[in-house]
Each structure stands twice: as structure tokens, then as C-alpha cells.
Amino acid sequence: MTSSTPSPDDTLSVSERDMLGALEVLQTAADEPRVLAVLSDEEILGTDGEVGLGILGSPYLEDERIERTVASATAIRSLIARGLVNPRPEGREDEGSMVIGDDDPSHRVVQLDRTLAGLLTLRRIPEGMVIVHRTSSNISTTLGLYLFPEDGVLEEFVAADGFHHFSVPTREVIAERLAQFVDPHGAANEDDDVRELTAEEIASDSSLQDTRTLSVLTIAGIGEGRQATVFALSASVLLLDNGVLDPTEESSDGAGGAAGTMAISSVSPESLRDLLASLVPQVTQDEDSDPAA
């Protein structure tokens, strides 16, 4: 099946209508955003292919008892029944010309609802990302931020049951939202001195046995990438700078400290927000690019 945006053969295909849907989604940004849409693992698989689940994961479909092909086909039937997928040539909007890809959009087997097409398009074309894998009480969840020029942000929360919740916050509030995600019980207390520890010293640090929520942040931008870990204890929060992601990076302080060490410190709520804000990549519009061209 060929979708209205990236097709399940993993080929990126974006029409003018897809891009219009993406821009309309970003225009809904709010400081207190509503949940714009909720999609299941199998709905994303059916409309965006395996590549659509590769970054943030698919908790439901990872269960080996689930037949992925059957689940995907059933999900598409549900989307058709809800009017979010149109398999018929009648009642379709004009796709316009192709923005990305060489196929003829008029030959697509189905057409997605424009908001759904916009969401799937945004998931495939970010200029930067922040991915947070959180484990709390043996339950794993994931938060993804897709970053775009002019402070555009798409937020995707993947619950343990495999439902993907999409919201569009403003850039001004994403540090606060990240802080709430990594410190869900408000344990952040006071700032403390930064310690330089080796990986072995961190692994053997007995204070970390009190960790209630463990969050690993992966930050990716054009030409950059970092990783950090947040330990939310019962009465404090520690932030560890794991350093740059590029294994070829040769820097004595690539991991936030002296060679062979990583910087870790207890942080206050204000410092946690500030540090998380500093980790979010800045995205600027390429002067030579025109997303609507």
C-alpha cells in the first residue's frame, strides 16, 4: 500500500498537500497544547511502514505474539472506517506537485486525512530531535521532539501500550515539559557541586540505587549530537553529561569533563530546566531551501 506521505516501502514521498498539512499542524502550537492525534503502533506501521517505528519504537508490536501484517491491515480498515484513509479515487483533494520524491501523487493507492498526512510528514523531515527514553517502576515510555525552523516543534509521547500521542507545543515551553517528563514526581531539590567521575565510578555509586525514574536523552541536530542521563531519586535529581555521540570526536572534554570522566551533579528545578533547554538544538532555516517549493 502506498500512503499519502512516506510509503511503507520506506521511500520518502512528500506532495504539496502533505507539506501543507505539515505546516497546518505546526500552526496549532500552544503553550498548553492539546493532544492533536493518537495513533497506535499498527496504524503507523500501516500508513508509514517499518521506518515509521524505527526511531521511537513500537511497544505493542514488539510483542512476538502479535502478527504485524494482520495488525497493520486491521488498523488500516479502522482508519478507513473513521474517514482518515480514503482508498477510493472519489472525494480526494488535489495532491499538487511533489516536494520530495519522484512518484506521481495522483497514482497513490490511498489518500490520508490532511492532518494525518502532515503528522507523518513531520516525523520524517525534522532538522533536529530530542529523544527521551524513560524507565519508571519497570514501565518504559518515550518522548520525542521533532524540531523545525522558526521554532516549530512536534511532540510525540509513546506510552507503554503502543499508543503515540501527538501534540504541538511552542518552543518556549519544551524545557518545562522535558523537566516534567524526566522528573515526574518533582524530586529536584538543590544544586550541588559538579563531580567528575569515570563510568566505573558512576556504575558503583551507591546513591544511584535510590533512582526512581531513569531517563536517557539523545539529542541530534545537523552536525551535532549529545547524550545525557537524568537520575530522579526520591529527594533529588542528578544530571549526567554522557558527552558527544560522534565516536570520531576527539575532545578532552567531550563527555562534559576531563578525559575519561563524565560530569554529574545534583540540580535544582530551575537548573534542570535551564540545562535541558541548553541541550535542545537550535534549528535555522537554510537560506537556499524553500519547504514549499
Which residue shows C-alpha cell 558512576?
202
| pLDDT, greater one: 120 or 222 | 120
- For residue 288, the model assigns a pLDDT of 53
* Cα angle for residues 38, 42, 58 (degrees, 5° grid): 85
Rounded to the nearest integer, the mean pLDDT of the chain is 90
3 state DSSP class of 209: helix
Question: Can you give the pTM of this predicted structure?
Answer: 0.89
Least confident of 38-52, 85-99, 184-198, 278-292: 278-292
What is the number of other CB atoms lying within 10 angstroms of the CB of residue 53? 21
Dihedral angle of Cα 96, 101, 102, 108, to the nearest 10 degrees: -60
pLDDT at 10 over 80: no
Quick: pLDDT tens for 92-150: 999 999 999 988 888 899 999 999 999 999 999 999 999 999 999 899 999 999 999 99
- How much of the chain, in percent, has pLDDT values that exceed 70? 89
Task: Please compute the mean of the pLDDT values over residues 66-85 and round it to a whole number.
Answer: 97
- In whole angstroms, give the CA distance from residue 31 to residue 38: 19
**Range 46-72 average pLDDT:** 95
Over 90: is that where the pLDDT of 265 sits?
yes
Amino acid at 261: T
Cβ atoms 292, 14 nearer than 8 A: no
Q: Where are the domains of the chain?
A: 14-125, 170-279
For the segment 63-84, the average pLDDT, to the nearest whole number, is 96
List of residues 6+ apart from 105 with CB closer than 8 A: 4, 13, 15, 17, 95, 96, 97, 98
